[in-house]
Amino acid sequence: MTFETQTTSEPLDLASIRRDFPYLAQELNGYPLAYLDSGATAQRPTVVLDAEREYLEHANAAVHRGASTLVGAATTAFEEARESVARFVGAGEREIVWAENATDAINIVALGMADAAAGLGGAEADVFRLGPGDEIVVTEAEHHADLIPWQRLAAKTGATLRFVAVHDDGTWNIDDAASVIGPKTRLVAFAHVSNVTGHIAPVEDVVELAHRHGALVVLDACQSVPHRPTDFAALGVDFAAFSAHKMLGPNGIGVLYGREHLLDALPPARTGGSTITTVTMERAEFLPSPQRFEAGTQPVSQAVGLAEAVRYLERLDMRRVHEHEVELAGLLVDEVARIPGIRLVGSGPGIERGALASVDVPGVHAHDVGQFLDSRGIAVRVGHHCAQPLHRRLGLRATTRASAYVYTTADEVRRFASALAEVRPFFGATA
Amino acid sequence: MSDLSGLYQELILDHSKRRVGDGPLADPQASHHEVNPTCGDEITLGIRLDPSGSTVEAIGWEGDGCSISMASASALSELVVGADVEHAREVIDAFRAMLRSKGAGEPDEDLLGDAIAFHGVSKYVMRVKCAMLSWVALEACLNEAQATGGTAGASAPTPSEDA
């Protein structure tokens, strides 16, 4: 993939954006904080915090329950939040299901499919019914959240889990996918943007290939929806998952996107109040999507906060957010590539990636690298980033990851690189 | 600014390179595998007691982890080989108490020797587990060696809950 050439008129006003995030103004160990861990969790602008408080102070009520004016207002706020999120990702509002987070969203699909295989859901759930001889395909680069639910589904149904192999830099392409996806494939799951390599998946090509074989496509969109304009309908995926806390929104809420007719047919794995039409002592009839999946009390203030985060990102304009991050990703890769003896995971300079970089510092463990950066006021992620199989494939156990977002400055990226260059001398690494 | 030298004391950086006890023990009486699930660091530590079962005769470990976890295994080996089993347990308890102290108090230098260098780690809550990894494995080995009366065997890997 090449850099996008179409640019919008004005870059982001970083100074103004940073004033919206009180968190960023603090010091860390005597230095101005350089928060380079947005890939793990993003910080929240004041408007998001205010929106949650405003809802709780004036509009809090039990949504979709009862008939009072207060319930009506709360339900309206809750459903308007759904509309905002739907608009943001090119979906219809019945195609947006609230989940706890992206992990939960993927589990809703995997557990629903296991229920289908167990005989629930009637004839319309046939598309989800896996058994021996069927294949589930994931890549070697997946986050555990997009791997373990499929391992469990395979174990429950007798289906086989197969893997798209990655190259030595952790990336993969459509040819790699095509060598695994075939007539037996019933489901393909992969990350839009890798949380370790920043690699951007060829989504449309995989969708075309998978659909040609009648397979469903599940997209882990955690590192794409917050960072680039994303239209699920245009991408053609069947399901997608993302988390609010990685896109300036609250914890405790995530989103499952699904094409309407699929969501209406997927058995709800978690059942209970608010999901039903008629209940007898023996059985229950379920509502269509999204209510069929939203059992029990819902995270309403979080939904309101997420909708405010979406509006904030829309005001910035996601095209400009993306351009900003393409620039930072380029700088990050260039700066890291200049440091002798540091191994950058993923593709090298000149190839677009998500605005993150995971590095291995030979002779120094990632925990120690992170500790050194921390002492310089630089917050990064260390460890396997919930991708042990990928690290193992790359011959690594843990890496150090810097990840950027709307509020990240070029200066922060340079501080990261310059501190990184000091790590090996500090620990006397010779390996 | 945070004084990194409080965490990475010379003794720790030195032990992380010397790695006393590094290498698997032939015929361990007990062996235990510990994993730190947050970073994937791991260690397999084996011990052998003397024929009477009262003294730690040998320790060998194989591990992959940060400087704190590797240095800690090294310091442990230096401290515990040749020690009476009951004394080794006291040292483990003292080490754990020091790591849980959040930087408070004075560690017992008579018991802990060089391992007091890890006192600074206790202020870094995310690193305590790194330092404890080999000590948890040693404790499991002692329990096993004493429970089985010294017959060879290895316990199953368990993620470390100890911090």
Task: Evaluate whether residue A2 is within a structural domain.
Answer: no
Weakest-pLDDT range from A61-65, A291-295, A330-334 = A61-65
Residue A194 exposure: Cα atoms within 13 Å on the Cβ side: 30
- One-letter amino acid for residue B99 of the chain: L
- Close Cβ partners of A382 (under 8 Å, ≥ 6 residues apart): A366, A367, A369, A370, A398, A399, A400, A401, B39
Minimal C-alpha gap between B40 and chain A (Å): 7
Give residue A1's pLDDT: 41
| Same domain for A301 and A250 | yes
Q: Give the percent of chain A with pLDDT over 70.
A: 98
Closest C-alpha to A36, from A424, A421, A410: A410
Q: Please determine, for residue B152, whether its predicted confidence score (pLDDT) is greater than 50.
A: no
Single pTM value for the model: 0.91
| Same domain for A257 and A390 | no
Most confident of A58-62, A303-307, B19-23: A303-307
Q: Please determine, for residue B103, whether its predicted confidence score (pLDDT) is greater than 90.
A: no
| Same domain for A327 and A303 | no
| Same domain for A209 and A65 | yes
The CATH number for A403's domain is 3.90.1150.10
Q: For A12-35, how does the pLDDT look when each residue is reduced to its tens digit (9 = 90+)?
A: 999 999 999 999 999 999 999 999
**Are the Cβ atoms of A371 and B38 closer than 8 angstroms?**
no
**Are the Cβ atoms of A365 and B7 closer than 8 angstroms?**
no
Chain pair A-B, CB pairs under 8 angstroms = 56
Q: Please provide the average confidence, as pLDDT, over all residues in chain A.
A: 95
Q: Please determine, for residue A209, whether its predicted confidence score (pLDDT) is greater than 90.
A: yes
Q: Please determine, for residue B153, whether its predicted confidence score (pLDDT) is greater than 60.
A: no
Contact present, A186 and A159 (Cβ < 8 Å): yes
Query: What are the chain B neighbours of A375 within 8 Å (beta carbons)?
Result: 1-2, 4
Q: For A245-267, how does the pLDDT look when each residue is reduced to its tens digit (9 = 90+)?
A: 999 999 999 999 999 999 999 99
Q: For A378-392, how does the pLDDT look when each residue is reduced to its tens digit (9 = 90+)?
A: 999 999 999 999 999
| Same domain for A197 and A331 | no
Task: Evaluate whether residue A8 is within a structural domain.
Answer: no
Distance CA B126, CA A199 (A): 29
Q: How many domains does chain A have?
A: 2
Query: What are the chain B neighbours of A428 within 8 Å (beta carbons)?
Result: 13, 17
Domain containing residue A215: 49-314
In which band, very low, low, confident or very high, does the pLDDT at B104 lie, cut at 50, 70 and 90?
A: confident
How large is the average pLDDT for residues B130-148?
Answer: 94
Give residue A5's pLDDT: 47
Give residue B83's pLDDT: 95
Give residue B146's pLDDT: 87
Domain boundaries, chain B: 4-147
Task: Evaluate whether residue A6 is within a structural domain.
Answer: no
Q: Please determine, for residue A167, whether its predicted confidence score (pLDDT) is greater than 60.
A: yes
The CATH number for A135's domain is 3.40.640.10
Distance CA A103, CA A222 (A): 10
Give residue A373's pLDDT: 98
- Helix B67-80 to helix B85-99 angle (10° resolution) is 150
| Same domain for A275 and A156 | yes
In which band, very low, low, confident or very high, does the pLDDT at A3 lie, cut at 50, 70 and 90?
A: very low
Distance CA A72, CA A303 (A): 16
Q: Give the percent of chain A with pLDDT over 90.
A: 94
Query: What are the chain B neighbours of A374 within 8 Å (beta carbons)?
Result: 2
Per DSSP bridges, beta strands A254-258 and A239-243 are antiparallel
Give residue A431's pLDDT: 58
Residue tagged 């939960």 (tokens): A104
Q: Please provide the average confidence, as pLDDT, over all residues in chain B.
A: 88
- Helix A300-316 to helix A318-337 angle (10° resolution) is 80
Give residue A9's pLDDT: 62
User: Residue A222 catalytic?
Assistant: no
Distance CA A229, CA B36 (A): 38
| Same domain for A135 and A37 | no
| Same domain for A254 and A308 | yes
Task: Evaluate whether residue A7 is within a structural domain.
Answer: no
Q: For A127-143, how does the pLDDT look when each residue is reduced to its tens digit (9 = 90+)?
A: 999 999 999 999 999 99
| Same domain for A416 and A271 | no
| Same domain for A322 and A269 | no
**Are the Cβ atoms of B40 and A31 closer than 8 angstroms?**
no
Distance CA B124, CA B6 (A): 10
Give residue B126's pLDDT: 87
Distance CA B90, CA B132 (A): 15
Closest C-alpha to A317, from A403, A244, A406, A200: A406
Contact present, A301 and A60 (Cβ < 8 Å): yes
| Same domain for A60 and A40 | no
Task: Evaluate whether residue A4 is within a structural domain.
Answer: no
Residue of A nearest to B127 (CA): A367
HEC sequence for A176-233:
HHHCCCCCCEEEEEEECECCCCCCECCHHHHHHHHHHCCCEEEEECCCCCCCCCCCHH
Which of B2, B68, B127 comes nearest A375 by C-beta? B2
- Domain boundary pick from A314, A334, A368: A314
Strand partners, A62: none
Task: Evaluate whether residue A251 is within a structural domain.
Answer: yes
Q: Please determine, for residue A355, whether its predicted confidence score (pLDDT) is greater than 90.
A: yes
Task: Evaluate whether residue A215 is within a structural domain.
Answer: yes
Distance CA A372, CA A366 (A): 10
- Close Cβ partners of A342 (under 8 Å, ≥ 6 residues apart): A336, A359, A360, A361, A362, A420, A421
Phi, psi dihedrals of residue A356, rounded to the nearest 5° = -150, 155
| Same domain for A206 and A120 | yes
In which band, very low, low, confident or very high, does the pLDDT at A8 lie, cut at 50, 70 and 90?
A: low
Contact present, A379 and A300 (Cβ < 8 Å): no
Which class is domain B4-147?
alpha beta
Residue B67 contacts A where some CB pair is shorter than 8 Å: yes
**Are the Cβ atoms of A384 and B66 closer than 8 angstroms?**
no
Q: Please determine, for residue A415, whether its predicted confidence score (pLDDT) is greater than 60.
A: yes
**Are the Cβ atoms of B67 and A368 closer than 8 angstroms?**
yes
Minimal C-alpha gap between A382 and chain B (Å): 7
- Domain boundary pick from A255, A280, A314: A314
- Domain boundary pick from A295, A314, A333: A314
Contact present, A38 and A355 (Cβ < 8 Å): no
Of A421 and A65, which is predicted with more confidence?
Answer: A421
Task: Evaluate whether residue A38 is within a structural domain.
Answer: yes
